[in-house]
Structure 1
């Protein structure tokens, strides 16, 4: 699977915002709605069958619920950035560490279910592009230094490939992999 696609999607989205300079993220609400619907369809038709084929349905249900709760917890820190709602103080100039950690965990989990499945990869790209555009608009309209914004976007772009890499090379137990995918399903369900 191509590790570069999620990285390129985020970086090209940032470059688009840097060059085109759109001021309002409201213009991207339709793209966000499409991305959420696409993510929901992928979750229902690709990920649920994959997660439930090998393990106990009750166990998978618990992990799906843990994923939903994890996403609610992450949104407490990210202020809804995964949905395209960035409600942070634009006057602050420091690096938004809580937003970064929250989105990094979210993006890392996005990478786990890819496992060589191009459909899941493309759906995650469709999900990441509007989020990257909205985050980029926020950063470039805020008082955060350009270097910090670029640093954030580059690190953010690396998280999904890192999640895929960890799942492909370090997760040995199939039951553990299924549990992580169930947590990712919960995250995706909450977002979509």
Structure 2
């Protein structure tokens, strides 16, 4: 189920952008604000408490103490995301800065953007196999990103098959991350460290989305409303999950 949720969100965003061509940037920004709040809430309400609940591994019935505090891995995640954004130019939270020709057109896949975005999406898939709610969080996060990326590439006259290949690959990354977390011995053994790194990544992404100011550096009422709705939905889902 988790595979379908995260994969479908990107493909749906791609199809909406391709056929409906939404042009109102304000609505997409509001959707981004909602997704950031939703993702941050799930991170704080579920992933973070789970990480600090137990500071050591449980592997095959044996407790293997980690000498490095969980907080260090969270900081590594934040720093790693900053490095990724150096190459992606912030595509993970709705900014697309790609080199175009004199006609403002893109004729090839921007590989740095593609690789950094895929690494980001792959890592996000790791904690999902233990929490379906997080799959919804990642899906809600990826949906507006898919719309923004597709719109940009289509408007920049990139070949539609190239755009599809880009978005299809991006859609596959999170399910592949979930698959690796379920079947890779290394991922299972170091699941806490990997989850902590992902928490750092999600912290950075979601907080950046929320606190990126609108025109005039102001939070307007619509944006605040979407953020509150994102928080509330995540809280309701997490409370339902815990019971």
Same fold, TM exceeding 0.5?
yes
Distance 2:171 2:111 in 1: 16
**Would the alpha carbon gap of residues 84 and 174 (structure 1) be closer, same or farther in structure 2, given more than 3 Å must change?**
same
Residue 87 of structure 1 and its aligned partner are, at CA, apart by 1.7
Q: Deviation per CA, 1:112-158: give whole Å up to 9, x if none.
A: 11124111111111111111111111111113211110000000000
Distance 1:22 1:45 in 2: 33
CA contact (8 A) 1:24 1:137 kept: no
Aligned twin of 2:94: 84
Residue 59 of structure 1 and its aligned partner are, at CA, apart by 1.6
What SS does the aligned partner of 2:106 have? coil
Could you tell me which runs of 5 or more consecutive residues in structure 1 were left unpaired when the two chains were aligned.
none
- The partner residue of 1:128 within 130, 133, 142 is 142
Superposition map of 1:65-104 within 5 A: 65-90=75-100, 91-104=105-118
Aligned twin of 1:39: 39
Residue 6 of structure 1 and its aligned partner are, at CA, apart by 1.3
- How many residues align structurally? 192
What SS does the aligned partner of 1:85 have? coil
TM-score scaled by length of structure 2: 0.75
CA contact (8 A) 2:2 2:132 kept: no
Moved over 4 A (4+): 172-175
CA contact (8 A) 1:25 1:137 kept: no
Segment of structure 1 superposing worse, 97-106 or 3-12: 3-12
**Which is greater in Rg?**
2
Could you tell me which runs of 5 or more consecutive residues in structure 2 were left unpaired when the two chains were aligned.
57-65, 207-243
Aligned twin of 1:61: 71
